């Protein structure tokens, strides 16, 4: 599943390419979107802005219409010049929004809907989001409060709960807990305030580092995230995807185990994260 940094970069690139331009072409594989297009055409509207809310991309159009998309496991947004060859097959296209200068193509997007901008504060998915680590208004104290509300579940599962803290996915879950020296299977209730604060601060720091302007500023897909600050692509992460390889700090083989209701893989070092 794309994580918060990927969604943030996608929204930023879409905004730079599309904001202030007029829609001249719209295609969709979603009947509900097509009905809106038939009743109140998207073509002719101005794209006002695009931004991320957790793992959601919100594209605002004139006259108070918003397109909400969620990538789930395999979705992605691409930007192309009109006539440019796509990097994905036409059969994977789910949504296309074209202007005179760019085409935004959503591939394999499972969730897409039009909502009125006035309804965003009441939207069932958006209003329950926890503090977004990539938001300028991120509230670490509120994130800590919401994590404490999940006192009896393992901290790794709590970090994946978008209602507690929005933006983290499976990669950052493992990386942040390793960087903080916290066992991923420890219940949140076992963490003191300083440990919890360190986890929240580290999550904010590493995600924001991975949306830096110097990192592929005009692409919505691809790119390698890093938590180690090393330039070598083979050394970019501490533990994620490194099962049985030596820990970069102590040399102990990195462990991996399925965790949570969705059986997501958790990577950790049994020595550094006792």
Q: Which residues are catalytic?
A: 2-3, 55, 264
Q: Element (H or E) spanning 68, and its range? A: strand 65-70
- Count CB neighbours of 232 within 10 A: 8
Give the closest residue to 21 by CA, choosing from 55, 65, 52, 60. 60
- Please give the DSSP secondary-structure letter assigned to residue 274: -
**Residue position matching structure tokens 């070092």:** 269
Sequence-ordered strand ranges (E) for the chain: 25-28, 47-53, 56-61, 65-70, 76-80, 93-98, 103-107, 111-116, 255-259, 264-268
How many CA within 13 A on the CB side of residue 223? Answer: 21
Rg (CA), the chain: 20
- Would you give the end-to-end CA distance of the chain in angstroms? 28
Cβ atoms within 10 Å, residue 190: 12
User: Which stretches of 191-263 are DSSP H helices?
Assistant: 193-209
């Amino acid at each position: 599943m794309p994580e918060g940094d990927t969604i943030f970069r996608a929204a930023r690139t879409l905004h730079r390419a599309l904001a202030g331009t007029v829609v001249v072409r719209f295609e969709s594989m979603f009947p509900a979107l097509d009905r809106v297009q038939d009743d109140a055409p998207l073509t002719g509207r101005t794209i006002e802005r695009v931004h991320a809310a957790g793992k959601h991309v919100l594209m605002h159009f004139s006259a108070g219409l918003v397109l909400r998309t969620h990538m789930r496991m395999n979705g992605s947004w691409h930007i192309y010049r009109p006539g440019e060859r796509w990097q994905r097959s036409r059969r994977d296209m789910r949504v296309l929004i074209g202007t005179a200068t760019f085409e935004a193509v959503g591939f394999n997007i499972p969730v897409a809907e039009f909502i009125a901008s006035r309804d965003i504060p009441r939207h069932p998915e958006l209003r329950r989001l926890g503090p977004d680590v990539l938001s300028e208004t991120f509230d670490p104290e509120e994130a800590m409060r919401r994590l404490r509300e999940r006192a009896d579940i393992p901290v790794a599962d709590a970090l994946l709960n978008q209602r507690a803290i929005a933006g983290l996915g499976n990669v950052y879950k493992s990386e942040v807990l390793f960087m903080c020296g916290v066992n991923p299977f420890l219940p949140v209730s076992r963490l003191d305030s300083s440990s919890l604060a360190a986890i929240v601060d580290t999550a904010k720091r590493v995600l924001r580092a991975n949306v830096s302007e110097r990192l592929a500023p005009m692409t919505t897909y691809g790119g390698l995230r890093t938590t180690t600050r090393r330039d070598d692509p083979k050394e970019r992460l501490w533990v994620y995807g490194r099962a049985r390889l030596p820990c970069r700090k102590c040399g102990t083989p990195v462990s991996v185990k399925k965790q949570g209701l969705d059986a997501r893989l958790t990577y950790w070092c049994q020595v550094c994260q006792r």
